[in-house]
Amino acid sequence: MATRLLLLSDTHIPQRARALPAQVLAAVAAADVVFHAGDWIDESVLDDVEHRATRLVGVYGNNDGDELRGRLPEVARVVIEGIRFVMVHETGPATGREARCSARFPDADVLVFGHSHIPWDTVAPGGLRLLNPGSPTDRRRQPAGTYLTLVAEAGELREVTLVAVGGSPGAA
């Protein structure tokens, strides 16, 4: 049976937005599993996503305070549809990221990360897939806020889609 995933990161509420956009909340409700790669900022965002999500996998980010760090791990590991996911907030500079992350997480199939607010989808030599959904609320140098949707089924990822907040989806 296919599992619909939603990848979020760097929501920075209330610093960059007052609340998650309605489009993001609808995506949370539609997903079977929601990943959030940190920098929630306000604990109420975690509470809201936990309440709306069927299942939530989250980590804390560098801007998250003691309350969030007390509720969330720095690194999360889950297996969904036979795919080994690892999630962290920061992975360091873009240069050398694939090799560095492959060495750090040799038993992972997919690494979900955040911090940069810049969408990222690459595959490292050896097969580790690195995914960063960007930020739905703080686009930085991107044309729009973003998140990722994807489907996990029978050990494979498919339909990996970068979705622009307020816009239309595009293939990642």
| Statement: 3-171 belongs to CATH 3.40.50.720 | no
Would you state the structure tokens that stand for residue 19, as one six-digit string? Answer: 């609340």
pLDDT tens-place string over residues 73-122: 999 999 999 999 999 999 999 999 999 999 999 999 999 999 999 999 99
- Tell me what pLDDT residue 172 has: 53
For the chain, the domains span: 3-171
Ranges under pLDDT 50 in the chain: none
- Tell me what pLDDT residue 154 has: 96
- Tell me what pLDDT residue 135 has: 96
Residue 166 burial (10 A CB sphere; 0-12, 13-18, 19+): exposed
State the Cα–Cα distance between residues 79 and 86, nearest whole angstrom: 9
Share of the chain residues as helix, strand and coil, in percent rounded to the nearest 5: 20, 35, 50
pTM, whole model, 2 decimals?
0.94
- Tell me what pLDDT residue 170 has: 55
- Tell me what pLDDT residue 16 has: 78
